A and B are shown apart, each in its own frame.
Chain A
């Protein structure tokens, strides 16, 4: 069964009919040619497909496209103007925060979300004082990024990359 949806992905508006079963991830990758969000587990467990959906990091593999008519999506590919790097992307390069790179677009979008959430004072499971200041310590980054798996185990460099981009010392 089809339904018409309109979406904006990385600044480009798309309007097209979709099968109600289509996820936002499959719509982007298979229909719109947007391959920056990667399909890892397709069950919300690995974080490889993480994008900014209406401004927050979310998982398009668990979102039905038909339920997100009118959504604004930013993928890792759309974080910065063509030819430029977003500070999180630069920090991943500076810290050598990847090996094979498959999880990297999801890691980067998740990191952008983490830095925004910290700037709004959102605590995490690793925050000792829930109503106090949040700092991007190693434990805070590790906890907040726990939804992004890296089979190459580049975590040891991902954590400092997120700290650098987030302005931690």
Chain B
């Protein structure tokens, strides 16, 4: 592991200043992803700034009826919070579908959405990867693509030597639920505070796959707010994986049915949690029959690009995620199931 300096500042403002002043500096919260990346050489900071004890660990009621998750609240504690379980089951289910008991006891609200992709080439410093080493190329194209993207990619068969090529997926389950809930991210940066809609926190690879999010260097998540929900809102998370526990999603679905609105976010299919806005528009006010949902998802997935690769590639994800959305909405609206 490359040597680094460690700092635990007195408060978040000082932490933000420390990171902003050092180009390679990183924030440390639970560390379940960062410490692994320090060992692998994927992360090579000169300065690690520890914020685990600087932000709130509490889940608090907001005046508007929502909930504020302090950035240092752990994934376990949020998943066991009665208010989350009763009002935002999609979030509790997503958290409980991720990682293991030990990791959930350590991982935090602020850190979980900022975890990096589990693309095997990103984690292997002996292989080219535009996300880890900008401009080096993409080893995943034509390689092991089972966990890779089918939406938001640039071309049917991207050029593996191009600097913008990246077919990685975002691995967080929590983030998929937060996208469906229209959560808001409270951020403190060198120039002050701002609020980012959760759906705008993550980005597509665009021309810089090394950037996962829209946060600037030095910006710190201090809390994530869950908006109040209409009475009668129902929500659920469904995850499909290669084994029953402790595995990343092949595909996952977070769905929220609220009044005449249905909100759908997809995991395991894109560089970011994917809000199925096209399907949502088609389903607004409609009866959520299996046929209607399937048709809406066909429209959502019309531009999906399966990636060839070892073991048959990842084209299986397109029908799989469609069926998983149908199943999730059937669970939430059994009265409309025909």
Interface residues of A (CB under 8 A from B): 1, 3, 19-21, 23, 42-44, 47, 50, 56-59, 62-64, 66-67, 110, 113-114, 117, 120-125, 127, 130-131, 142-147
Q: How far is it, in angstroms, between the C-alpha of A1 and the C-alpha of B82 when the chains are bound?
A: 43
A113: chain B residues at CB < 8 Å are 101-102, 105
Q: State whether the Cβ of B303 lies closer than 8 Å to any Cβ in chain A.
A: no
> A114 to chain B: which residues have CB within 8 Å?
101
From known contacts A67-B6, A146-B100, A147-B100, infer whether A56 and B105 are also in contact, taking CB-CB under 8 Å: yes
Contact, CB under 8 Å: B6 / A147: no
Q: Contacts A67-B52, A125-B97 known; A3 to B6 CB distance under 8 Å?
A: yes
Contact pick for B85, options A3, A63, A131, CB 8 Å: A131
Report whether A20 and B106 are in contact in the complex, using a CB–CB cutoff of 8 Å. Answer: no
The number of A-B residue pairs with CB atoms under 8 Å apart is 106
Give which listed residue, A44, A130, A143, contacts B245 with CB less than 8 A.
Answer: A143
Tell me if B102 and A50 are in contact (CB < 8 A).
yes
Pick from A58, A143, A146: contact of B106, CB under 8 Å? A58
Complex CA distance for A141 and B97, rounded to whole angstroms = 15
CB distance from B301 to the nearest CB of A (A): 27
Inter-subunit contact A21/B38 (CB<8 Å): yes
Q: Count of B residues near A, CB < 8 Å?
A: 37
17 contacts between A and B (CB under 8 A): A1-B4, A1-B5, A1-B6, A21-B3, A21-B4, A43-B39, A47-B102, A57-B102, A62-B32, A62-B36, A66-B6, A67-B6, A67-B31, A113-B102, A123-B79, A124-B101, A143-B245
Determine the residue in chain A with the shortest Cβ distance to B100: A147
Q: Which residues of A contact B48 (CB under 8 A)?
A: 20, 64
Whether B3 and A20, one on each chain, are in contact in the complex, defined by CB atoms closer than 8 angstroms, is yes
Any A CB within 8 A of the CB of B80: yes
The 8 Å CB contact of B246, one of A59, A127, A146, is A146
Q: Chain B nearest CB: distance from A77 CB in Å?
A: 18
- The reply to whether B76 and A130 form a contact with Cβ atoms under 8 Å apart is no
